[in-house]
Amino acid sequence: MITIERLSKKFGEFVALDSVELVIQTGELFFLLGPSGCGKTTLLRHIAGFYQPDAGRILFDKEDVTRIPPHRRNAAMVFQNYALWPHLTVEKNVAFGLEERRVSKSDTEHRVKEALCAVRLEEFARRKMHELSGGQQQRVALARALVVRPACLLLDEPLSNLDSKLRLEMRAEIRRICREFKLTAIYVTHDQQEALSIADRIAILNAGKLLQVGTPTELYRRPQARFVAEFIGEGNFLTGRVLNQNELLEIELGNRNLYVQSGGRPRPNVGSSVALCLRPEIFQISESQPPGQAWHATLLETAFLGPVAQHRFQCGEDVLEVTEANPRPGRFRPGDECFLGLNPEDIILLNEI
């Protein structure tokens, strides 16, 4: 278990980490997610031991490792650029960390073979780096990290140099390996889909501050702030006023009203302003008035993307982004008038205006 206690770091006048507090559970695949410059890589490098904080502590289980050098932390890091030796073979690259630790030759051979089997590269042991694809080189970097049998695996945007198909394959591989070796893994990325697809939990950072921690479902369906809602997915953001507090909140949005569930949050007072996030996929598009709440809208334009179509609808004074799954060609054309159905439980009530 990794515990971060009020960790702070400045580079000159730039605040990279601002009193970050975080607990990562044993065996968890944990993601640090945020835009460039948010502090996620700085935090990872503190955990690895490459940086020293200005304030705060880092504990592995209950041991304070804040001032312990990297090679004594039992953590292994996989870098964005792989950091492989081009003149060495695959097996020599993987064995490098063991040789530095003065592990016996027989034990090194056994552990290298075990690590290459884990990443399914046992047949490539004698090849040089230039003979491998990008995905295979990334597997070598993973094997080199695994061979030292770390308690913690640190991954710094490990898939950013791969094409989309390879990224999908490697996501599944990384999750499989972490489960198989029972690793606590901390994974830095700015790719929301990557985080949502394989993380146990995710921390969202911005400007050195920790904004929210939760499972992918929690962050996507119940973000606490607009920044989190925008960063973790797309959304239509509207501001309204609370009219009634019954079983559902009734929100006035210009000349339209909307019924919303509070989602377990404190219910705002009648008359107060609230912010809402409507994900593009929550709308049900129909040609006739459906049961329940629905808005009348006019189609402005459509982008066909294969499995989905992205529509833009004019609805009162607002332009709404709407996603349709498995779209039928020619069903809707610009200028068509439609109804957009909304379920109260799908609408996100944000904590801030």
Residue ranges, comma separated, of all CATH 2.40.50.100 domains in the chain are 234-349
Residue 180 corresponds to which tokens in the numbers above?
């198989």
* φ, ψ of residue 243 in degrees (nearest 5): -95, -45
The conformation of residue 128, written as its DSSP 8-state character, comes to B
Residue 94: how many CB atoms within 10 A of its CB?
30
Residue 345 corresponds to which tokens in the numbers above?
């439980």
pLDDT of 267 reads 82
pLDDT of 254 reads 84
pLDDT of 346 reads 94
pLDDT of 353 reads 59
Taken as a whole, the chain contains a residue count of 353
Q: What is the pLDDT along the chain (353 residues), one digit of tens a residue?
A: 999 999 999 999 999 999 999 999 999 999 999 998 999 999 999 999 999 999 999 999 989 999 999 888 889 988 877 778 888 899 999 988 887 788 888 888 899 998 898 888 889 989 998 888 888 888 898 888 888 888 899 999 888 877 888 888 888 888 988 888 889 999 999 889 899 999 999 999 999 999 999 999 999 999 989 999 999 989 999 999 999 888 899 999 988 889 998 767 778 888 889 999 999 999 999 998 888 899 999 999 999 999 999 999 999 889 999 999 999 887 889 999 999 999 999 999 987 65
Using N-to-C axis directions, what is the helix angle for 134-146 and 164-180, rounded to 10°?
20
The conformation of residue 67, written as its DSSP 8-state character, comes to T
Residue ranges, comma separated, of all CATH 3.40.50.300 domains in the chain are 2-229
Look up the pTM and report it. 0.88
| SS3 call for 193 | helix
pLDDT of 104 reads 86
For domain 2-229, the CATH architecture is 3-Layer(aba) Sandwich (3.40)
From the list 239, 292, 293, 295, the residue with the least C-alpha distance to 268 is 239
pLDDT of 65 reads 95
pLDDT of 53 reads 96
CA distance to 121, 127, 162, per residue, from 133 (Å): 12, 11, 10
Degrees, nearest 5: CA angle 220-226-231:
55
Pick the CATH number of 234-349 from 3.60.20.40, 2.115.10.20, 3.90.420.10, 2.40.50.100: 2.40.50.100
